[in-house]
């Protein structure tokens, strides 16, 4: 095996202001790629309860009183000492009112990538409103495409706006800004919002509304549950099977496996008037066998038919492809491993990721209490030691007098 290098973001330092879901997800993606991420938590004197955030792997925490000059000074000092990325998950104007807006922090550190994430557009009609994933999907147009024809639009839990349109899009913007900084030497403000991110993800189905692919309305088209050979079916044991046999040669193999060849279905595959009867036939047929029995039929074929697996079985069945891996394989500079290696076990660091993995193997999140790992992270980042460059008072990290004086030199 060729020699592999360090993770792609090794040496990049990130300040992530504590938030919910999409901001922490962007920070986790950076951490999995080797960045050193410190979460800035709100100081909670007298309390040691962990923050309600499970997207914490490989992160450390410092607790800061952001409403205090001592707290904002602490953040500014971290930025001035060379933080590469800052993640702002708050509503527009929150950090600006605290004196930690981009004009201030980029003035302190011109190389900083100041990454901001909102739900609605900052300049749109909903900018001042509260919202959640379902609301951002709604005004993006994407939600209008999701769900069965005879039902209301159905949100796909909070994956699409929060994580794909929000956190992952912000992560992409951060990487682009770091790449631009490599050429210019300067950081910049990165702005992502879940409305535009979701709308961008919906580019293909949106274009299909005028090209014919999605022109029949929600839940009536080829790829949105309207088509019987691109849908899921219940099996005899109450499990489910997914079918995606779009092309004629795949459709024929599906019919072979189901024992339905010779009924003329091949010639009527794209006849939408035949789809209701075809769906009813498929429903009856799939209920005749258990999911395992259908797997014995379809595994190894090109019928585009696969079992619908749940995470509980993926976690406990090593024969399934449930071992959590980095989202992308970089063969020269792989990201960090998620699944823990057993003692003495071996795995390909390129495919499975470098390092020993994390507790929970990607199935169980580790809570990160305010202040957890902060001392180690600050020593690693800056060589700081508690009692010398900073102290913790009433649960909040603050600079010492000597550090304040040295920063003025």
**Residue 216 and residue 224 in contact, taking contact as beta carbons nearer than 8 Å:** no
Other C-beta atoms lying within 10 Å of the C-beta of residue 126? 16
Q: Say which of 133, 162, 224, 231 is annotated catalytic.
A: 162
Q: Select from 354, 288, 345 the least CA-distant residue to 33.
A: 354
Residue 162 annotated to the active site: yes
| Residue written as token pair 């991110």 | 197
**Residue 314 and residue 322 in contact, taking contact as beta carbons nearer than 8 Å:** yes
Using alpha carbons, list the distances in angstroms from residue 154 to 74, 104, 143, 218, 322.
Answer: 44, 42, 7, 10, 27
Q: Is 15 exposed, middle or buried (0-12, 13-18, 19+ CB in 10 A)?
A: buried
Q: Select from 278, 286, 315, 223 the least CA-distant residue to 295.
A: 286
132 is written with which tokens? 């959640």
How is residue 50 annotated by DSSP? P
| Residue written as token pair 């997800």 | 25
Other C-beta atoms lying within 10 Å of the C-beta of residue 65? 20
- Which residues on adjacent β-strands are paired with residue 58? none
d(CA 287, CA 289): 6
| Residue 222, C-beta contacts closer than 8 angstroms, at least 6 positions apart | 213, 230, 246
Catalytic residues: 162
């Amino acid at each position: 095996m060729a020699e592999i290098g360090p993770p792609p973001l090794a040496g990049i330092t990130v300040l992530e202001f504590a938030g919910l879901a999409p901001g922490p997800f962007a920070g986790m993606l950076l951490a999995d790629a080797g960045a050193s991420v410190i979460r800035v938590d709100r100081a909670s004197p007298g309390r040691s309860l962990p923050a309600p955030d499970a997207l914490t792997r490989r992160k450390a925490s410092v607790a800061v009183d952001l409403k205090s000059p001592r707290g904002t000074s602490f953040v500014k000092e971290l930025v001035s000492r060379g933080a590469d990325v800052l993640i702002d998950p708050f509503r527009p104007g929150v950090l600006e009112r605290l004196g930690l807006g981009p004009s201030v922090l980029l003035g302190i550190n011109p190389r900083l990538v100041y990454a901001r994430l909102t739900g609605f557009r900052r300049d749109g009609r909903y900018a001042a409103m509260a919202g959640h994933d379902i609301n951002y999907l709604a005004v993006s147009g994407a939600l209008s495409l999701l769900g069965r024809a005879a039902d209301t639009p159905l949100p796909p839990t909070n994956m699409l706006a929060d994580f794909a349109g929000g956190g992952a899009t912000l992560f992409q913007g951060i990487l682009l800004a770091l790449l631009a900084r490599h050429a210019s030497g300067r950081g910049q403000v990165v702005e992502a919002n879940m409305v535009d991110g979701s709308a961008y993800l919906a580019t293909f189905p949106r274009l299909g509304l005028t090209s014919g692919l999605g022109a029949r309305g929600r839940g009536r088209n080829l790829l949105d549950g309207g088509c019987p050979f691109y849908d899921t079916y219940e099996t005899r044991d109450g499990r489910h099977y997914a079918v995606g046999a779009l092309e004629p040669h795949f459709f024929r193999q599906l019919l072979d496996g189901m024992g339905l060849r010779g009924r003329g279905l091949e010639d009527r595959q794209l006849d939408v008037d035949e789809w209701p009867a075809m769906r009813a036939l498929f429903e009856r047929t799939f209920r005749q066998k258990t999911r395992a029995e259908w797997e014995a039929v379809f595994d190894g074929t090109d019928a585009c038919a696969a079992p619908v697996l749940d995470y509980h079985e993926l976690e406990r069945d090593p024969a399934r492809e449930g071992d959590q891996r980095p989202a992308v394989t970089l063969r020269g500079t792989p990201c960090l491993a998620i699944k823990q290696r057993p003692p003495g076990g071996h795995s390909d660091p390129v495919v499975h990721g470098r390092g020993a993995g994390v507790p929970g193997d990607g199935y169980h999140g580790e809570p990160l209490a305010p202040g957890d790992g902060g001392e180690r992270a600050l020593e690693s980042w800056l060589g700081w030691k508690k009692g010398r460059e900073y102290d913790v008072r009433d649960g909040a990290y603050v600079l010492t007098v000597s550090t304040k004086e040295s920063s003025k030199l």
